[in-house]
Structures are given as structure tokens and as C-alpha cells.
Amino acid sequence: MTEPAFLLLTALVDGPRHGYGIVQEIEKLSDGRVQLKIGTLYGVLDRLAADELVTLDREEAQQGRLRRYYRLTESGMRALEAEATRLAGNIESARRRLRARQAGGMA
């Protein structure tokens, strides 16, 4: 799973969001490190929707424009949980190796 997809799924855990709201939440989640452009966002959303990890929740008219809200599906929640577990395992492996290296006196 790509980092933008992971962050997008994470952004939707709390509830449905529209595109710009997703972009803002991803920026917040990544401490400003990841700033998705709208075109990139909708490409990721399309892939996640095709995989049935997110779905259109509703559409609202705002100032003459249609605002689409997306939500996480149950499959999306399971995929996010699996990816978080996988990443945590990778982090722990890296930390173990770093501790072993430091304990061995290698700098």
C-alpha cells in the first residue's frame, strides 16, 4: 500500500470527508510532510474505490459546486489494520537491528 493510500484511509477512520477535507487531514496526519495535489488525491480515491476500500458516502451542493464525501468501508478498515500491523512489524525489526548494532559497539 502506498503512503498516500495509507494516509487517505487513516484520514477517513473518523468519518466521511470531502476531497479538500481529506487533503487537509493527510497534511495534518503527516505533520505537513505529505501534501497531496487534488489530481493525485482523486487518482488514489479512484483506486481505493475500485478495490472497495472507500465508497462515496454522499454528495452536497456547496456554493454552486458539488462536494463529494467519501467514507471507509469495512474492507478498507481491515486493509488499514493489516497495513498498520505490517508497518509496525517492519519498524520493530529495524529497531531491533539498530539496538543490536549499537550494543555491538558499531557506529
Q: Is the pLDDT of residue 106 over 90?
A: no
Domain of 68, in residue numbers: 3-103
Q: What does the alpha-carbon distance between residue 65 and residue 32 come to, in Å, rounded to a whole number?
A: 27
Count of domains for the chain = 1
Question: What CATH number is attached to the domain comprising 13?
Answer: 1.10.10.10
Torsion of CA 43, 48, 49, 50, to 10 degrees: 90
The percentage of residues in the chain with a pLDDT greater than 90, rounded to a whole number, is: 88
Whether the predicted pLDDT of 107 surpasses 60: no
Calpha distance 22→85 (Å, rounded) = 23
Q: Report pLDDT digits (tens) over 49-90.
A: 999 999 999 999 988 889 999 999 999 999 999 999 999 999
Q: Higher model confidence: residue 64 or residue 107? A: 64
